[in-house]
Amino acid sequence: MFALHEFNSELSVLHIPEICTWNLSLESTLLDLPLYNCQIELTQQAKEVAQAFDKKPLLPGVILTDRGKFVGIISRRLFFERVNRRYGIEMFFKRPIEVLYRFSRKDMLILSGTKLIVEAAEESLYRPAELVYDPIVVEVAPETYWLLDVQQLMVAQSKIHQLTNKLLQKQTEAKLIQTEKMASLGNIIAGVAHEIRNPLNCIWGNLNFLLSYFEDLLELMSAYEEEFSEPSPVIAAIKERIEFDFLREDLPATLEGMKFGAEQLLKIVNSLHNFSHMDESKPFSTDIHECIENTLLILKNRLKQSTEVVKNYGDLPLIKCYSGQLSQVFLNLLINALDALAERAGDREMSAQYPQNWYPRIEITTKVVEVDDRKWAAIIITDNGPGIPPEIQEQIFETFFTTKPVGKGTGMGLAICHQIITEKHAGKLNLRSQPAPNTEFEILLPIVQTCDQKAL
């Protein structure tokens, strides 16, 4: 049983500033708030509780114990409400606090100290109206309970709400900046691709003429050799000096190589030009396979690093879409897959737990599927990387969420993919990843038949 002088030593509370200056974040818990530890045995008189409330004006209530074991609480509001009633002082003031507690016991909200402030505030507001301002019991340790003033909880919730708004504003600004950068980059790429394509088209077109001219010259040389079977010493010396026989065999192969290189370069430029269509004002009927091939061509340098790409292309109709934005989705998903494969390849070299016969592999499958009585074009990109842990799969499409080290990723890629597919194309972007090495992204695009397709 606590005496009054002992009671003062048992009352402990963190300093409460008039203005909330706590260092709070979205992940702050009840343990980050000022908590009161004021314990009263049931056998103590109610007047001692009144003295405690008088000495500590901010004390929201007291914790009641029976031989040191937690029993319940009496809030400041309830205590004075009972005592100030008619005959309240005579009934309760000089009796053990247990009498008042048994007479007016109410339900109490008990929360763990690790409970998030935002969650605790929500639970507090769901209490009955007569209890909504009563203090909350916080279990700071097993069988150890302190009190939290609900007003302090609401102040903290308000501060976190302000932080959330600021964070959302920063995220929105960052997203706008990222979108602007992507649009600017698209315009630059489109301009550069256009400038390269003009001289490249000139080279490509003239190479065909050059091959034709060379064949004509060879035909002329053959005619000369037949008509003049005895060449002059001057001609013989020149032919020997320029190694004419080797030149006649090697030059066609050289020109064919130049033609092949120009053709590949033209494909890359066209891919960049198609990829840069980020500002398309309306969707167009697009060959999805061509979009994928253009994206793979842009990533050709990274795909050379012993990564096998398996293509299981099905029979897809033309899809009405924004081809440039869809190419960005393919690019982001493929880059994520390549990063995951590179991570697993590094882990395999550092650890013996990975099978030595493993090799990086990306599989791209396209087909028509039926979901919810609708036909969809499905594009499935699968890699045999380390997989995505189940505990973060629900966050994977959130803006700024990233599993990559600082400086390696912005957390925008998958969020942008999700936005492009769901908002711009009314499609779906699904993730399937098991604990075993495997990650699969499934893109579902609605198939809308055009007038020409209906006629067929």
DSSP codes, 2-43: --HHHHHHH-EE----SS------TT-BGGGS--EE-EEETT
Average pLDDT estimate for 289-310: 82
Query: Which of 42-46, 261-265, 315-319, 327-331 shows the lowest mean pLDDT across its residues?
Result: 261-265
User: What are the structure tokens assigned to 296, written together?
Assistant: 């793979």
Cβ of 225: how many Cβ atoms within 10 Å? 11
pLDDT at 412: 52
pLDDT at 180: 59
Element (H, E) at 308: strand 308-312
Cβ of 223: how many Cβ atoms within 10 Å? 10
Share of the chain above pLDDT 70, in %: 77
Question: Given pLDDT bands bounded at 50, 70 and 90, which one contains residue 77?
Answer: confident
How far CA 102 is from CA of 43, 97, 168, in Å, comes to 12, 9, 48
Flag whether pLDDT at 456 surpasses 50. Answer: no
Between 244 and 402, name the one with better pLDDT. Answer: 244
pLDDT at 446: 92
In tens, the pLDDT along 386-428 reads 877 777 767 677 765 555 544 444 445 688 888 889 988 999 9
User: Is the distance from CB of 369 to CB of 376 less than 8 angstroms?
Assistant: yes
Question: Given pLDDT bands bounded at 50, 70 and 90, which one contains residue 455?
Answer: very low
- Using the structure block, give the residue that is written with the tokens 């008619």: 86
Between 300 and 113, name the one with better pLDDT. Answer: 113
User: What are the structure tokens assigned to 111, written together?
Assistant: 């929360």
pLDDT at 230: 74
Q: Provide DSSP, 357-398.
A: T---EEEEEEEEEEETTEEEEEEEEEE-SS---GGGGGGTTS
Flag whether pLDDT at 436 surpasses 70. Answer: no
pLDDT at 402: 59
Which amino acid appears at position 251 of this protein?
L
Between 93 and 222, name the one with better pLDDT. Answer: 222
Average pLDDT estimate for 174-191: 60
Between 188 and 317, name the one with better pLDDT. Answer: 317
pLDDT at 449: 55
Cα of first residue to Cα of last residue in the chain, in angstroms, is 92
**CA atoms of 316 and 348, how far apart (whole Å):** 37
pLDDT at 88: 67
SS3 category, 310 = strand
In tens, the pLDDT along 9-24 reads 344 444 444 445 567 8
SS3 category, 321 = strand
pLDDT at 355: 64
R_g of the chain, CA atoms, integer Å: 38
Q: Provide DSSP, 151-193.
A: HHHHHHHHHHHHHHHHHHHHHHHHHHHHHHHHHHHHHHHHHHH
pLDDT at 277: 58
**CA atoms of 105 and 99, how far apart (whole Å):** 10
User: What are the structure tokens assigned to 165, written together?
Assistant: 């708004």
> In what order do the strands lie in the sheet containing 144-148?
12-13, 36-37, 144-148, 136-141, 110-112
User: Is the distance from CB of 295 to CB of 350 less than 8 angstroms?
Assistant: no
Flag whether pLDDT at 254 surpasses 70. Answer: yes
In tens, the pLDDT along 339-393 reads 888 877 776 655 555 566 778 889 999 999 988 788 999 999 998 888 777 777 6
pLDDT at 269: 75
Flag whether pLDDT at 268 surpasses 70. Answer: yes
- Using the structure block, give the residue that is written with the tokens 């005895």: 230
Average pLDDT estimate for 174-190: 60
Question: Given pLDDT bands bounded at 50, 70 and 90, which one contains residue 314?
Answer: very high
- Using the structure block, give the residue that is written with the tokens 């402030």: 117
